[in-house]
Amino acid sequence: MQREAREAIVLLMKGLFDRRDNEAAWEALVGAAHGTISDYFDVIGLEPVIDEAEGYAYLRQREPEEGETPLPKLIPARELGYKVSLLCVLLRKRIADFDMQSDDFRAVVTKEDLLEQLLLFMPETFDEVKLRRELESTIKKVEELGFLKKLRGEADHYEIRRSIKAFVDAQWLADFDRKLQEYREAGLWQ
């Protein structure tokens, strides 16, 4: 197996793989080594999901074929907290607006923009410094999930990664709306 294919495997195992992070590995993933890479992951019940138009890929659990005993889940589903979910929804909306208004590929936001958007959905509190720290931690968590990437040389500027489109889809938004309603009914959020 060529080096680029091995690099693609490692990058997929690390999480979201963006084409711009390693062009040679991307070419191996979508090109001649695609079958080899897919076969490699199939052994452990995973499959690469590739969006060539948007330039990202990730792994998901493969659905067992009829009559096949499913393997144990290797990639667990994670429940995201309210603030992280909210930020993901705001980023998804932001990238949709950006796509309609701009020809540029990169959607860039500042930390201050993100904090201001999040503050609109937070209850008023007497300790605004503590709330800002919590929201900055939320931004960091979303960055660790791979939906934001800090820009080099530009303090507090982030690129919204296009992979958020695959994870925050119509079903995800409907689930989030349902959870928001539960928060309202429980009095956790006004």
Q: What is the pTM of this model?
A: 0.74
Model confidence over 159-178: pLDDT tens digits?
999 888 888 877 777 777 77
Q: What is the DSSP letter of 19?
A: G
Q: So what's the pLDDT on residue 188?
A: 56
Q: In 3D, which of 188, 92, 84 has the Cα closest to residue 135?
A: 84
Phi, psi of 158 (to 5 degrees): -130, 145
Cα 189 to Cα 60, 95, 115, 121: the distances in Å are 33, 26, 18, 8
Give the DSSP H/E element, type plus range, for residue 148: strand 148-150
Residues 128 and 118: beta-carbon distance below 8 Å = no
Which residues face 148 on adjacent strands? 160
- Encoded amino acid at 129, one letter: V
What's the pLDDT tens digit per position in 40-95? Answer: 999 999 999 999 988 999 999 888 888 888 888 887 777 788 889 889 989 998 88
The predicted pLDDT at position 13 comes to 92
Token readout for 62 is: 């493969």
Q: Does residue 146 register a pLDDT over 70?
A: yes
Show the CA angle centred on residue 138, arms to residues 133 and 144, nearest 5°. 125
C-alpha distances in angstroms, 65 versus 40, 69, 160?
A: 18, 8, 35
For 84-110, how does the pLDDT look when each residue is reduced to its tens digit (9 = 90+)?
A: 988 998 999 888 888 888 777 788 999
* pLDDT for 184: 66
Provide the token pair at 111: 């930390």
Cα separation values, 73 from 51, 64, 130, Å = 23, 11, 37
**All domains of the chain in start order, with CATH:** 3-61 (no CATH), 82-186 (1.10.10)
Q: What is the C-alpha separation between 88 and 59, in angstroms, rounded?
A: 19
Give the chain's mean pLDDT: 86
The pLDDT, as a whole number, for residue 119 is 87
